């Protein structure tokens, strides 16, 4: 249970730090079990909400979990985003609900967990939390921002 909590929080923390560095205000609600993982603001305007899945290659998105993600994100009238680490199947309904998908491509792990999997030769689609990993995640976030989030509709918030 500690593994799931630690790994789950890690990517959320990384994403929050990156978005904050980029000038956004990020709120990570303390009780996320029945809500979104992250709220993203530009100035005082809620512009996006996100669910974050820092899963490993063997993980599977169940119908129940997918439906909860859709339900949580659809409570908000702003951009909706599912940030996930590994390729997922069972994505039907997400795009139809205007939920953007941002795939990181690998699970991000703290050093001790990465080392554990390394000794077992199980590091496929897993990377250690490092400066290079954070730079890669940052570039994916910037790509999302440039190609989706700021596709003209939020420009009014950027004007002084």
Interval 28-68: pLDDT, tens: 987 656 789 999 998 889 999 999 999 888 888 999 999 99
- Asked if the structure places residue 25 within a domain, the reply is yes
What is this structure's pTM?
0.88
Q: What is the DSSP letter of 124?
A: T
Mean pLDDT of 70-88: 93
Q: Report pLDDT for 159.
A: 43
Scanning the structure block, which residue is given the tokens 């809500």?
35
Is the distance from CB of 81 to CB of 49 less than 8 angstroms?
yes
- Asked if the structure places residue 158 within a domain, the reply is no
Domain span holding position 107: 2-151
* More reliable by pLDDT, 11 or 91: 11
- Asked if the structure places residue 50 within a domain, the reply is yes
- Asked if the structure places residue 156 within a domain, the reply is no
Q: How many domains does the chain have?
A: 1
- Asked if the structure places residue 157 within a domain, the reply is no
User: CA-to-CA distance for 144 and 77, rounded, in angstroms?
Assistant: 19
User: CA-to-CA distance for 98 and 21, rounded, in angstroms?
Assistant: 26
The CATH number covering residue 133 comes to 3.40.1350.10
- Asked if the structure places residue 160 within a domain, the reply is no
- Asked if the structure places residue 18 within a domain, the reply is yes
Q: Report pLDDT for 38.
A: 95
Taking all residues of the chain, what is their mean pLDDT, rounded to a whole number?
A: 87
Q: What is the DSSP letter of 70?
A: H
DSSP H or E stretch at residue 71: helix 63-73
Mean pLDDT of 114-137: 92
- Asked if the structure places residue 27 within a domain, the reply is yes
User: CA-to-CA distance for 80 and 85, rounded, in angstroms?
Assistant: 17
């Amino acid at each position: 249970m500690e593994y799931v909590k630690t790994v789950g929080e890690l990517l959320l923390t990384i994403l929050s730090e990156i978005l904050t560095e980029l000038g956004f205000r990020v709120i990570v609600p303390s009780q996320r079990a029945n809500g979104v993982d992250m709220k993203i603001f530009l100035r005082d305007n809620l512009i996006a909400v996100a669910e974050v899945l820092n899963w490993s290659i063997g993980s599977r998105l169940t119908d129940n979990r997918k439906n909860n993600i859709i339900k949580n994100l659809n409570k908000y009238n702003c951009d909706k985003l599912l940030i996930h680490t590994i390729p997922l199947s069972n994505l039907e309904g997400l795009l139809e609900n205007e939920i953007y998908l941002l795939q990181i491509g690998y699970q991000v792990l703290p050093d001790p967990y990465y080392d554990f999997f390394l000794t077992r030769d199980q590091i496929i689609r897993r990377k250690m939390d490092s400066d290079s990993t954070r730079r890669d995640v940052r570039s994916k976030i910037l790509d999302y921002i440039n190609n989706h989030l700021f596709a003209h509709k939020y420009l009014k918030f950027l004007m002084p």
